[in-house]
Chains A and B, each alone.
Chain A
Amino acid sequence: MERAALTFSDVSAGYRARKVLDEVTFTVNEGELVSLIGPNGCGKSTLLKTAAALIKPLSGRVELFGRDVQRIKPAERASLLGVVPQKIESPMAFSVTEIVSNGRISSMGRWGTLSASDHDLIERAMIYTDVSGLRDRYFSELSGGEQQRVALAMVLAQDPRIIMLDESISHLDINHRQEVLQILLNLNREKRMTILLVSHDLTLSAGISDRFLLMDAGRLVKAGTPAEVLEPALLSTVYNCELQVKQDPYSGTLQVTGALDNLRHQRKLGRTVHVIAGGGSGLELYRRLLIEGYEVTTGVLNRLDSDAESARALSVRSVLEQPFSAIARDAVDEARKMIDSADVVVISSVPFGSGNIVNLELAAEAASKGKVVLFAAGIEQRDYTKEHAVRPLTEILVAEGASPWNTIQELMAELLRLQPSP
C-alpha cells in the first residue's frame, strides 16, 4: 500500500490581493519522483511555498504524511520536508560546512551545538552530494553547480522524507544538471526519497519522473504518467506555442521540442520534391529545399541512417526501413507512392549498394513515367553493387531525360527553371 506523502485538497492560495492557486487537488505518494510543470507564472513556486507552510492556504488543506502542514511544528516539518530553492545566496563569507550545518538548525542546542548524530548527517549529506572536498571554501565563491550541490547537501542534512526543488537545476549547464539529477535519482531509488521537481525541461523530466503534474494559470490541468501528460495538443494549449512530442527511438523516453518549422513559415511553393539520400548526403538538401519552400519527402532510408535522423528533426516525411536489412516490398511501395505524388525526384550524392539500389530503380521507373529526375553528377563512381547495376540504371535515367547536377546552387536554379510560371 503506497502512502500519501503530500496531499493537496482543494487548495486555494495566494498573496494579499492576488489568488495564485485555484482549488488544486493532488497527491504525491511516498517514493515517487514527480515533476511539476507549467508555464512561467502558473503558480508552481506558490504551490511549493504552500506545501512548505510558508504561505497559508486561503481555503483547502495541505497534508504532509496525513497531517495538516499548518499544524506541524516548524522543527518537525523540517524533518519531513526539505526545499531546495532556485538559488541560495549567502552575503556573508560562510564556509561550505557552515552552510550545510544550517540543515541541522532545528535540532541544534541553544548555543548551536551539534550532537554526534547531527555531525553524522552533515558528513553523509556532504559525501552523498560530493561536496566534502569543498568544505572549507567560501560558499559564495563556488560555481553555480557547486552551490546547488551544497544547497542540496544542506537540505539532505535535514534528513527529510520529501525534497522539493524549485527550478533548482534549470540554470545549470548540462554537465552540472546531470550531476544534480543523478544525485536526485539515486536518492529516489536508493533511499526511497519522495521528490517533487519543478521543472522547465520537459524532456529531462520525462526521462526521470514517475508522474507529471501540469499546471496552468493556478489550476492543475492534468496529472498522470509522462505519456499521459505530454500530449502535444494539451501542451501546446498550456504553453501557448507549437510543441511536438516524440519518442526517442533508442531509449523510448519522450522528447518535447518546440516545432522547428520556422523553415516552412516563409513561403510555400506548392511543389513537392522527393529526395533519394542516405549516409548524411541528404541533410543539406533537405534544409535548402525547405528554406526555398518546397514540400520535401524522402526514402527509403535506413532507420539508423543519419539522414533519417535529420529528416525526423526537420519533420520531413520519410519512408524508413529497419536497420541492416534489405528494403522490403511494402517500404518500396510506400516510396513509390511518395515519388508518384512528387513533382521532382532529386538523387543526392549517396553511394549505392545492394541494400539501397532499389531507390535508384524507383527513380528510373519514375523517369520512364515522365517524372523529372535530377541526379548528383558522378553517380557511377559511387557504385558499390556487385553486379555494377548503377550504370545501366543511369543510362535509363539519362535516356528518359534526367539530368545531372554538380552543386546545390545549380540544382536550386534548375528546380526554379522547372517551376511552372504562375
Chain B
Amino acid sequence: MNAKEHLCTDNRFSAPHRATQWRKVALFCAAVPLLLCFSLFFGPSGMGLPDIQTPFGSAILSLRFNRLLMGLMTGAALSASGVIFQALLRNPLAEPYVLGVSGGAGLGATLCILLSSGVLVTVGLPVVAFISSLLTLMLVYTIAGQGSSGPPSVYSLILSGVIVSSICSSIIMFLVSTASIEGLHSVIWWMLGSLQPVPAGQQLLSAALITGGIAGIWLLSPQLNALALGREMAHYQGLRADRVIAAGLLLGTLLAATAVALSGMIGFVGLIVPHVMRAIFGPDHRKLVPLAALGGGAFLVLCDAIARTIFSPVEIPVGVVTALAGGPFFLIILQRRMKQAWIS
C-alpha cells in the first residue's frame, strides 16, 4: 500500500469556477441558422418557400440562397472589422467608415467599375479596393502622426480619417457626375449598397479573404484583450504591441475593403453590431470576434430579407433597412446595457 498516492501534493490555487455565459452563447448560435433559413422565405416573388420542383422555383431559391451568402459574408466582414478597429483604437467611434478605410475602398472600387469591364472587375475589384483602402489608411496615419512624437493619438486619427473620408466621397461624387449613363447606373447601385450576387469567381475570392481575415482576427484576440489597457501596458506585459496593432489594422482593412467591393457602401453594421454583441456577451475578444461576425452576418441577411420584400416588387437598398430598422432596436439594447458595452 502506498499511502502517498492518495495525498494531494498540489497546493496551488486554481481558477474559481465561474458561471459562464455559455447558455447565452448556445442560444445565440442556435438562433442564427434558424434566422438564416427564415430569410429564405422572403423575396419579391412572394412569401414562403418557392416550389423547387419547377425550374423557376429552384432558380428563385438559389438566388435567395446566394443573397444569403452575400449578406452573411458582408455583414460578418463589416462587423469583425468594426470589432478590431474599436479594440485597437480603444474608441467606441472607431469603425471602417470613420477611419476612411471604407471611403478609400469605395474610391478604388468606383474607379475600377468605371474604367474597366468584364473579368477585370470580377477579380480586380476586391484587390483594387484593398489596395486603395490600405493607401488611404496609410495616408490617414501619416496625416495624424504629423508633429507628434511616437504613434498618433486616437483623436487625431479619427479627425484625419473623417477628413480623408469626405475627400474620398467628394472624388467619388465627381467621378459619378462625369460618368457615362450605364457606368452611372452600376456605380450608383453599388454605392447604395446591395447584396445582388456578384460573379462566382469574386464570391469565392471574397469568401476566402473574409474567412481568412476573421480567423486572423480571432487568433489575435488574446492580444486584443491585453491591448484594451493601451499600447504601453501591453508592451510592459510582454506583447509585441506594435506588431499586433499593425497586423490588426491590416486585417481590419482587408475585411472592410472586401466587404465594400462585394456589396458597396453599407453603413451601420460595422459600428453598432460590435457594440451590441459586446453589451450582450462581454468584451472578451475570444468570444466577441466570432460572435460579432456571426451576429453581423445574420443581421445583414435579415435586413436584406426585409429590404427585398417590404415594398415588393420594388427593392430598397439594404443600407436603408440596416439603419432604419436596426437602429432603434439596437439603441434600446444599448441603452439598457451600455455599461457592459463601453465605459468611458
Q: Which residues of A approach B to under 8 Å, CB–CB? A: 15-18, 49, 52-54, 74-79, 81-83, 85, 88-94, 97-99, 102-103, 105-106, 108, 110-112, 114, 116-117, 119-120, 122-124, 127, 135-136, 138, 140-141, 154-155, 158
A123–B343 alpha-carbon span in the complex (Å): 26
- Interface residues in B231-256 by Cβ distance below 8 A to A read 232-240
- Contact status A102-B219, CB under 8 Å: no
- In the docked arrangement, what's the CA distance between A120 and B16, Å? 11
Chain B nearest Cβ from A337, distance in angstroms: 61
B13: contacting residue among A92, A123, A140, CB under 8 A: A123
Contact of B230 among A88, A97, A105, A158 (CB under 8 A): A88
Closest to B14 in A: A119
Q: List 10 A-B contacts (CB under 8 A).
A: A54-B235, A54-B236, A90-B228, A91-B90, A91-B228, A92-B342, A93-B278, A93-B339, A99-B229, A135-B16
Among B223, B235, B344, point to the contact of A52 (Cβ < 8 A): B235
Q: Does B7 contact A (CB under 8 A)?
A: no
Q: Which residue from chain A places its CB closest to the CB of B90 in the assembled complex?
A: A91
Name the one of B13, B233, B286, B341 contacting A120, with C-beta atoms under 8 angstroms.
B13
- Whether B238 lies near A158 (C-beta < 8 A) is yes
B15 touches A105 (CB 8 A): no
Residue of A nearest to B10 (CB): A116
Asked whether, in the complex, the Cβ of A105 is within 8 Å of the Cβ of B226, the reply is: yes
Q: Given the known inter-chain contacts A52-B235, A94-B225, A106-B237, please indicate yes or no for A89 contacting B230, CB distance below 8 A.
A: yes
Contact A112/B14 with A74-B238, A105-B239 known, Cβ cut-off 8 Å = no
Assess the B237–A158 pair: CB atoms within 8 A: yes
From residue A194, how far is it (CB to closest CB) to chain B in Å? Answer: 16
Whether B339 pairs with A138 at a CB distance below 8 angstroms is yes
Contact B228 A105 (CB under 8 A): no
B197 in the interface (beta carbon within 8 A): no
CB distance from B71 to the nearest CB of A (A): 28
Number of interface residues of B (CB under 8 A): 42
Q: Mark B65-90, 1 if CB is under 8 A from A, else 0.
A: 00000000000000000000001001
Do the beta carbons of B237 and A85 come within 8 Å of each other?
A: no
CA distance A385 to B13 in the complex (A): 68
In the complex, the answer to whether A140 meets B237 with C-beta atoms within 8 Å is: no
Residue of B nearest to A102 (CB): B226
Smallest distance from the beta carbon of B138 to chain A beta carbons, Å?
Answer: 19
Among B15, B222, B278, which residue has its beta carbon within 8 angstroms of that of A108? B222
Cβ–Cβ contact B225 & A111, under 8 A: no
Q: How far is the CB of A68 from chain B (nearest CB, A)?
A: 17
B contact residues around A110 at 8 Å (CB): 219, 222
CB distance from A246 to the nearest CB of B (A): 37
Neighbouring A residues of B284 by C-beta, 8 Å: 94, 98
Partner of B236, one of A16, A52, A138: A52
Identify the closest chain A residue to B278 (Cβ).
A92
Query: Top 4 A-B pairs ranked by shortest CB distance?
Result: A78-B238, A106-B238, A112-B222, A123-B13
Does B23 have its Cβ within 8 Å of any Cβ on chain A?
no
- Residues in A with CB closer than 8 Å to B233 are 83, 85, 88, 102
**In the complex, chain B residues 1-22 whose Cβ is within 8 Å of any chain A Cβ:** 10, 12-16, 18
Contacts known (A91-B342, A93-B339); A116 close to B228, Cβ less than 8 A: no
Contact residues in A for B178 (Cβ distance below 8 Å)? none
Residues 174-185 of chain B: 1 if any A CB is under 8 Å from the residue's CB, otherwise 0? 000000000000
Residue of chain B at shortest CB distance from A106: B238
Tell whether, in the assembled complex, residue B237 and residue A105 are in contact, meaning their CB atoms are under 8 Å apart: yes
If A18-B149, A92-B342, A105-B223 touch, whether A116 touches B237 (CB-CB below 8 Å) is no
Chain B residue nearest to A93 (CB atoms) is: B340
> Counting CB contacts under 8 A, is B283 at the interface?
yes
Partner of A106, one of B12, B90, B239, B342: B239
Instruction: Taking A89-B230, A158-B238 as given, write out 7 further A-B residue pairs in contact, using a Cβ cutoff of 8 Å, ordered by the A residue number.
Output: A90-B228, A93-B339, A102-B233, A102-B237, A106-B239, A112-B222, A123-B15
In whole angstroms, what is the CA distance A103 to B234 when docked? Answer: 9
Please indicate the chain A residues that have their CB under 8 angstroms from the CB of B222 in the complex: 105, 108, 110-112
Given contacts A93-B340, A117-B12, contact A102 B225 (CB under 8 A): yes
Contact, CB under 8 Å: B13 / A119:
yes
**Is A112 a contact of B221 with CB atoms below 8 Å?**
yes
Is B50 in the interface zone, CB < 8 Å from A? no
